[in-house]
């Protein structure tokens, strides 16, 4: 429901006659060009993305995914007979800026749900506000604390939590034959949450952890940390990080001639080829990265790539996460017959956990809901299910390796 004064409503309705997209105060609004809709006839949802700051390499893919999902659903008639209206805000990859942007999305734009939220630190900062305001939060942040405690059923994570990430990496390294491992970890809430689960799982599998070394974002050099970790020649080095820092570390490892196998997240070692472009094919060769699958093989993922104009073999994690968020949100609203968060959050697990034929296109799912027929939404990033606390479960993780400048799927954790 909109709380704008009548005069502003009238102005907005008139403005929508000729605009397919508007920009106000840095917030991009997507609407339908025709027929014109009054402001409170649309279903308002928000995307809080890192368009600037450390998360900048990932924010644009989130925005493009959200726009594509909204346009696809609106072209087929929308949800509950109404168009989705998307408001995009930049969290600057900073908690303070993220809270300010989220407050605007809620109080000014009147959204009932916020998607995106790439950064765990931003997600954790925004979470209390969303719960207080009764707004659904569908984040990509992986910090375990996001779904802990009383969330009032409003928080549904569309990315793996830190605990499961750590275990997955330990399993992959052990499958590769590693007997010793070290961890070189970026200090953020998400990356830190993967450390102890890796240690526990690697030791349980018979391995020995030699070192855990921490580093900060945007350091001028990582030589000291690299020498400390790689100098002991562990079989495997797990580097929970992002593209900028991991790229610098990979270059330092290559220059120094160390031979320990590197393992990191797919969004750090691939992300549409940016990593290989940054470090070069020689430095990237043999680097291992892990991501929940089926990325690249599911029909939903292929639909996402098609709608965003990307090549069929492109590996993109966070954009696909947001694609799932918008689709599940639309299906839950349709199923609840309400755009109020208190109503539709109850249906979020139902659209992916239900028995029935798998559906990859949300438009097909919306039709099945209207026809009263069973189905389950099969995700773009993984064919997941939801636990009661809002975490994804039943995940498999793909093990990719960079070979001659290209990421190849070499195995999985199942």
User: What's 88-119 look like in SS3?
Assistant: EEECCCCHHHHHHHHHHHHHCCCCCEEEECCC
Whether the model clears a pTM of 0.85, i.e. scores above it, the answer is no
- Answer yes or no: do 261 and 190 share one domain: yes
Please count the other Cβ atoms lying within 10 Å of the Cβ belonging to residue 126: 29
User: Residues 324, 380: contact at Cβ < 8 Å?
Assistant: yes
> Does residue 12 form part of some domain?
yes
> Is there a cis peptide before residue 294, judged by omega within 30 degrees of 0?
yes
| R_g over Cα of the chain | 21
- Answer yes or no: do 182 and 169 share one domain: yes
Q: Is 166 exposed, middle or buried (0-12, 13-18, 19+ CB in 10 A)?
A: buried
- Answer yes or no: do 265 and 404 share one domain: yes
- Answer yes or no: do 40 and 145 share one domain: yes
- Answer yes or no: do 226 and 168 share one domain: yes
Residue 294 DSSP SS3: coil
State the distance between the two ends of the chain, measured CA to CA, in whole angstroms. Answer: 45
Print the domain residue range for 250: 162-294+395-412
- Answer yes or no: do 408 and 273 share one domain: yes
> Does residue 41 form part of some domain?
yes
User: Residues 254, 91: contact at Cβ < 8 Å?
Assistant: no
Q: Is beta strand 136-139 parallel, antiparallel or unpaired with respect to 208-215?
A: unpaired
Please state the φ and ψ torsions of residue 256, each to the nearest 5 degrees: -85, -10
The DSSP secondary-structure symbol of 41 reads G
> Does residue 28 form part of some domain?
yes
User: Residues 251, 275: contact at Cβ < 8 Å?
Assistant: no
> Does residue 39 form part of some domain?
yes
- Answer yes or no: do 260 and 309 share one domain: no
- Answer yes or no: do 156 and 305 share one domain: yes
Intervals of the chain under pLDDT 70: 1-40, 271-272, 294-296
> Does residue 1 form part of some domain?
no
Count of structural domains within the chain: 2
- Answer yes or no: do 278 and 321 share one domain: no
- Answer yes or no: do 355 and 237 share one domain: no
- Answer yes or no: do 45 and 193 share one domain: no
The CATH number covering residue 174 comes to: 3.40.50.2300
d(CA 338, CA 324): 19
Say which residue the tokens 């199923």 belong to.
Answer: 335
- Answer yes or no: do 155 and 173 share one domain: no
């Amino acid at each position: 429901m909109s709380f704008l004064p009548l005069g502003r409503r009238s102005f907005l309705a008139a403005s929508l006659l000729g605009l397919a997209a508007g920009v106000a105060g840095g917030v991009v609004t997507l609407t339908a060009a025709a027929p014109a809709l009054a402001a409170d006839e649309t279903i308002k949802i928000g995307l809080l993305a890192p368009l600037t700051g450390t998360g900048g390499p990932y924010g644009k893919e989130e925005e493009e995914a959200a726009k594509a999902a909204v346009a696809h659903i609106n072209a087929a008639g929308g949800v509950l007979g109404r168009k989705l209206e998307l408001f995009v805000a930049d969290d600057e990859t900073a908690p303070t800026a993220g809270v300010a942007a989220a407050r605007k999305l809620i109080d000014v734009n009147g959204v009932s749900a916020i998607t995106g939220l790439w950064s765990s630190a931003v997600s954790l900062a925004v979470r209390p506000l969303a719960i207080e305001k009764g707004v659904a939060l569908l984040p990509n942040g992986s910090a375990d604390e996001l779904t802990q405690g009383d969330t009032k059923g409003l928080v549904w994570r569309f990315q793996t939590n830190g605990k499961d990430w750590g275990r997955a990496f330990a399993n992959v390294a052990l499958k590769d034959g590693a007997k010793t491992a070290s961890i070189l970890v970026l200090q953020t809430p998400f990356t830190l949450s993967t450390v102890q689960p890796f240690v526990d799982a690697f030791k349980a599998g018979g391995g020995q952890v030699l070192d855990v070394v921490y580093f900060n974002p945007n350091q001028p050099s990582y030589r000291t940390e690299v020498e400390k970790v790689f100098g002991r020649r562990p079989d495997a080095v797990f580097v929970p990080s992002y593209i900028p820092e991991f790229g610098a570390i990979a270059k330092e490892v290559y220059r120094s001639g160390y031979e320990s196998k590197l393992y990191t997240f797919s969004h750090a070692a691939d992300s549409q080829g940016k990593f290989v472009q940054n470090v070069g094919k020689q430095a990237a060769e043999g680097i291992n990265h892990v991501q929940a699958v089926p990325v690249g093989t599911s029909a939903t993922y292929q639909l996402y790539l098609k709608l965003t104009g990307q090549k069929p073999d492109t590996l993109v994690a966070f954009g696909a996460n947001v694609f799932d968020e918008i689709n599940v949100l639309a299906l839950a609203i349709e199923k609840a017959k309400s755009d109020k968060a208190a109503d539709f959050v109850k249906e979020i697990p139902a659209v992916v956990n239900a028995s029935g034929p798998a559906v990859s296109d949300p438009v097909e799912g919306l039709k099945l809901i209207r026809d009263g027929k069973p189905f389950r939404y099969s995700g773009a990033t993984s064919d997941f299910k939801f636990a009661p606390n809002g975490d994804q479960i039943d995940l498999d993780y793909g093990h990719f390796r960079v070979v001659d400048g290209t990421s190849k799927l070499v195995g999985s954790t199942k």
